């Protein structure tokens, strides 16, 4: 007898017999194992290959081609870039080269902007009344100026991404990544929003609309904030320049790679647990390679970069004024001193980050403002320490006693912890659920805390 769901025994089957459903499942597993042992591939890949083979045979019967078909330049390049063994390493090498080039070209331009805002800050500090000079010099110009000093690397990164997209390579990157994404339970179409996330997570999450499978789409939305956006770049640049002078490009590249690996890992967990289910197949047409036009590059760069400028002129401006006000209140206390309102608020939150190596109230305050916009972390630090962006990292190291290990743990936490407010809003809109949005906020904070804790504690074992 077999037992039904309610615990009663169903007639017709003894305890040792199997149901028809179980027989089907056993036959399925046996067939899948047999196919894998023969072809060395999973069933989905085999079926896809056979489909392409069927399409190819139909084309041979119906499509007439020249006797000798010439090999195009696109075909020659694809033989290398789409190679199973070399495709992913080439993609990573291109990204690494992009970051090295961005930092090499942007450092002189950053210095010019920093010097300009330092000069303006010195002039503003002499204005009367004193509170107005402090507001402009210590508040607005320090906060907004520190953020705007990172315009060169951010815009150069957007230029590089625009070139890769317009040349036709990004489509190849998605195709190459399909095998890796398939292991994580997704497919190559989810890779497109991940790449767009390098610019901003908001349009990247919106791009997930093109994914037909609901579970694939939701998983892509939930993992996208782990991809390092342009707003986090100022944090990396600031601390990499101060603590990893000779290895800035490598350090920053490591966080972009770390974000992608964490996204893959989280996608794997989601698709095996709460979002379990089959993944859709990925079919796309690869465009021919072409030389990007200057107009196209400038348009794409401006579309991504103007959002950074808008945030600097609105959100970062407002945050800088608010931080200055809280640092000056109640009236008469030392600016940014222990008795100020902002120090009291930061001290209340700081113990959460103490096990991670950065338990100072200034850091806790900056991370809170980072929920408004990730660029606000750097702007807040600029206001709180009342110094120019050029030496901000060095002064933090001197005043707080930071080491490269603490700086790296802080950057890792900044990469992962709660997405910015705009990203949270678009996640709610695209997922249609506050439950999933709250889940994304909770898991990202917990993951960031654990990651920074492990980096700091394990690293301390080797650095003493």
Structural domain boundaries of the chain? 17-70, 88-463
Q: Determine the Cα–Cα distance for residues 91 and 79; give it in Å rounded to an integer.
A: 14
Q: What's the pLDDT tens digit per position in 119-148?
A: 787 777 777 777 777 777 767 777 777 778
Confidence of residue 42 (pLDDT cuts 50, 70, 90): confident
**Range from 7-16, 27-36, 265-274, 404-413 carrying the lowest mean pLDDT:** 7-16
Share of the chain above pLDDT 70, in %: 90
Q: What's the pLDDT tens digit per position in 297-327?
A: 999 888 888 877 887 777 778 888 888 788 8
- Looking at the predicted structure, is the pLDDT value of residue 1 above 50? no
Q: Cα–Cα–Cα angle for 13, 19, 25, nearest 5°?
A: 165
Q: Determine the Cα–Cα distance for residues 28 and 24; give it in Å rounded to an integer.
A: 6
Residue 464: count of CB within 10 angstroms of its CB: 4
Q: What residues form DSSP beta bridges with 3?
A: 9
Output 419 or 281, whichever has higher pLDDT: 419
- Looking at the predicted structure, is the pLDDT value of residue 342 above 90? no
- Looking at the predicted structure, is the pLDDT value of residue 280 above 90? no
Q: Determine the Cα–Cα distance for residues 235 and 415; give it in Å rounded to an integer.
A: 9
Residue 334: predicted pLDDT: 74
Residue 283: predicted pLDDT: 65
Residue 396: predicted pLDDT: 76
Dihedral angle of Cα 326, 330, 332, 338, to the nearest 10 degrees: -70
Q: What is the 3-state secondary structure (H, E, C) of the chain?
A: CEECCCCCEECCCCCCCCCHHHHHHHHHHHHHHHHHHHHCCCHHHHHHHHHHHHHHHHHHHHCCCCCCCCCCHHHHHHHHHCCCCCHHHHHHHHHHHHHHHHHHHHHHHHHHHHHHHHHHHHHHCCCCCHHHHHHHHHHHHHHHHHHHCCHHHHHHHHHHHHHHHHCCHHHHHHHHHHHHHHHCCCCHHHHHHHHHCCCCHHHHHHHHHHCCCHHHHHHHHHHHHHCCCCCCHHHHHHHHHHHCHHHHHHHHHHHHHHHHHHHHHHHHHHHHCCCCCCCCCCCCCCCCCCCCCHHHHHHHHHHHHHHHHHHHHCHHHHHHHHHHHHHHCCCCCCCCCCCCHHHHHHHHHHHHHHHHCCCCHHHHHHHHHCCCCCHHHHHHHHHHHCCCCCCHHHHHHHHHCCCHHHHHHHHHHHHHCCCCHHHHHHHHHHHCCHHHHHHHHHHHHHHHHHHHHHHHHHHHHHHC
What's the whole-number mean pLDDT along residues 366-381? 86
383-394 core/surface letters (b: 16 or more CB in 10 A; e: else): bbbbbbbbebbe
Confidence of residue 4 (pLDDT cuts 50, 70, 90): very low
Confidence of residue 189 (pLDDT cuts 50, 70, 90): confident
Output 264 or 384, whichever has higher pLDDT: 264
- Burial bucket for residue 402 (CB in 10 Å: 0-12, 13-18, 19+): buried
Confidence of residue 7 (pLDDT cuts 50, 70, 90): very low
- Nearest partner of 116 among 152, 141, 138, 136, judged by Cα: 141
Q: What's the pLDDT tens digit per position in 399-455?
A: 788 889 999 999 999 999 988 888 999 999 998 889 999 999 999 999 999 999 999
Cis check for the bond before 412: say yes or no (omega within 30 of 0). Answer: no
Residue 8: predicted pLDDT: 47
- Looking at the predicted structure, is the pLDDT value of residue 210 above 90? no
Average pLDDT of every residue of the chain: 82
Residue 51: predicted pLDDT: 83
Residue 387: predicted pLDDT: 57
Q: What's the pLDDT tens digit per position in 24-39?
A: 888 888 887 887 787 7
Q: Are strands 9-10 and 2-3 parallel, antiparallel or unpaired?
A: antiparallel
Residue 213: predicted pLDDT: 82
Give the contacts of 206 (CB within 8 A, at least 6 positions apart).
426, 430
CB 177 within 8 A of CB 91: yes
What's the whole-number mean pLDDT along residues 95-106? 85
- Looking at the predicted structure, is the pLDDT value of residue 372 above 80? yes
- Nearest partner of 44 among 290, 278, 374, judged by Cα: 278
What's the whole-number mean pLDDT along residues 191-214? 84
Give the contacts of 337 (CB within 8 A, at least 6 positions apart).
343
Which pTM value belongs to this model?
Answer: 0.76
Q: What residues form DSSP beta bridges with 2?
A: 10
Which of the given ranges, 57-66, 68-77, 243-252, 349-358, has the highest pLDDT on average? 349-358
């Amino acid at each position: 007898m077999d037992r039904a769901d309610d615990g009663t025994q169903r007639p017709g089957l003894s305890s040792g017999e199997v149901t028809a459903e179980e027989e089907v499942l056993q036959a399925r597993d046996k067939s899948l194992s047999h196919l894998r042992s023969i072809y060395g591939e999973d069933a989905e890949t085999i079926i896809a290959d056979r489909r392409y083979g069927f399409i190819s045979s139909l084309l041979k019967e119906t499509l007439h081609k020249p006797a000798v078909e010439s090999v195009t330049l696109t075909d020659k390049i694809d033989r290398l870039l789409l190679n199973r063994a070399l495709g992913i390493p080439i993609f990573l090498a291109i990204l690494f080269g992009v970051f090295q080039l961005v930092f090499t070209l942007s450092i002189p331009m950053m210095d010019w902007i920093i010097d300009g805002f330092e000069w303006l800050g010195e002039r503003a500090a002499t204005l009367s009344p004193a509170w107005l000079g402090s507001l402009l010099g210590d508040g607005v110009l320090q906060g907004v100026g520190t953020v705007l000093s990172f315009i060169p690397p951010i815009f150069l990164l957007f230029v590089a991404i625009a070139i890769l997209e317009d040349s036709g390579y990004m489509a190849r990157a998605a195709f190459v990544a399909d095998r890796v994404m398939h292991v994580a339970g997704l497919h190559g179409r989810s890779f497109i929003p991940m790449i767009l996330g390098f610019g901003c997570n908001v349009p990247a999450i919106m791009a997930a609309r093109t994914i037909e499978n609901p579970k694939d789409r939701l998983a892509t939305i939930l993992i996208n904030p782990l991809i390092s956006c342009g707003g986090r770049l100022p944090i990396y640049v600031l601390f990499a320049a101060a603590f990893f002078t000779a290895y800035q490009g490598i350090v920053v590249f490591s966080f972009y790679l770390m974000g992608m690996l964490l996204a893959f890992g989280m996608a794997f967990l989601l698709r095996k647990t709460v979002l379990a289910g089959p993944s859709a197949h990925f079919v796309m047409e690869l465009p021919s390679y072409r030389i990007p036009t200057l107009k196209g590059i400038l348009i794409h760069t401006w579309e991504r970069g103007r959002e950074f400028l808008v945030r600097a002129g609105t959100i970062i401006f407002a945050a800088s004024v608010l931080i200055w006000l809280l640092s000056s209140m109640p009236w008469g206390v030392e600016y940014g001193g222990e008795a100020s309102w902002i120090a009291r608020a930061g001290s209340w939150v700081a113990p959460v980050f103490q096990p991670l190596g950065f338990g100072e109230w200034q850091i806790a305050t900056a991370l809170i403002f980072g929920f408004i916009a990730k660029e606000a972390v750097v702007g807040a630090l600029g206001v709180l320490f009342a110094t120019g962006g050029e030496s901000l990292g060095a002064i933090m190291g001197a005043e707080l006693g930071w080491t490269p290990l603490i700086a790296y743990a802080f950057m890792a936490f900044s990469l992962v912890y709660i997405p910015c407010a705009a990203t949270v809003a678009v996640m709610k809109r695209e997922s249609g659920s506050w439950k999933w949005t709250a889940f994304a906020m909770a898991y990202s904070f917990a993951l960031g805390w654990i990651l920074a804790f492990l980096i700091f504690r394990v690293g301390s074992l080797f650095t003493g």
